[in-house]
C-alpha cells in the first residue's frame, strides 16, 4: 500500500528530490525545505492517498503496534499530533 499519514483523508503529491536524496508530501514541506531540495518545484509529482493513522492501520488489519520508528524530514511533531488524536492507548515517546 502506498500512502501517507495526514489529519484527514485526501490525495497529496509525493515528491522525490534529485537522486532521491529526500522525499515527502510536497504540500506539507516548508518553503525553506522546498527551496533547498526542490528549487524547480515538484517536477515529477506522484499522487498518493493520505489518511489518519488509525484508518491506515485498520485498512491493513493491524490491531497492535509494538514499535514504530518515524523519520519524516522535520515533520515528526505534526505526524505525532495527528496520530495521538487517532490512538486510544497510552503512548511512550523516545527521542
Range of the domain at 71: 3-86
Does a structural domain hold residue 94? no
Q: Copy the grid coordinates of residue 2.
A: 502506498
Q: 69-79 b/e with 16+ CB inside 10 Å = b?
A: eeebeebeeeb
Strands (DSSP E) found in the chain: 3-5, 10-16, 23-25, 46-51
Express each pLDDT in 62-86 by its tens digit. Answer: 877 788 777 766 667 777 777 766 6
Express each pLDDT in 15-45 by its tens digit. Answer: 988 877 888 889 888 899 899 999 988 888 8
Number of compact structural domains in the chain: 1
pTM: 0.65
Does a structural domain hold residue 49? yes
Does a structural domain hold residue 67? yes
**Paired sense of beta strands 10-16 and 23-25, if any:** antiparallel
Does a structural domain hold residue 80? yes
Q: Number of helices (H) and strands (E), helices first, in the chain?
A: 3, 4
Amino acid at each position: 500500500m502506498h500512502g501517507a499519514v495526514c489529519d484527514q483523508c485526501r490525495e497529496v503529491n509525493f515528491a522525490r528530490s534529485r537522486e532521491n536524496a529526500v522525499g515527502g508530501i510536497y504540500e506539507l514541506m516548508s518553503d525553506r525545505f522546498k527551496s533547498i531540495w526542490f528549487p524547480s518545484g515538484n517536477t515529477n509529482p506522484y499522487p498518493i492517498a493520505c489518511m489518519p493513522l488509525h484508518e491506515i492501520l485498520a485498512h491493513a488489519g493491524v490491531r497492535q503496534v509494538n514499535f514504530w520508528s518515524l523519520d519524516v524530514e522535520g515533520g515528526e511533531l505534526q505526524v505525532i499530533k495527528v496520530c495521538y488524536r487517532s490512538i486510544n492507548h497510552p503512548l511512550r515517546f523516545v527521542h
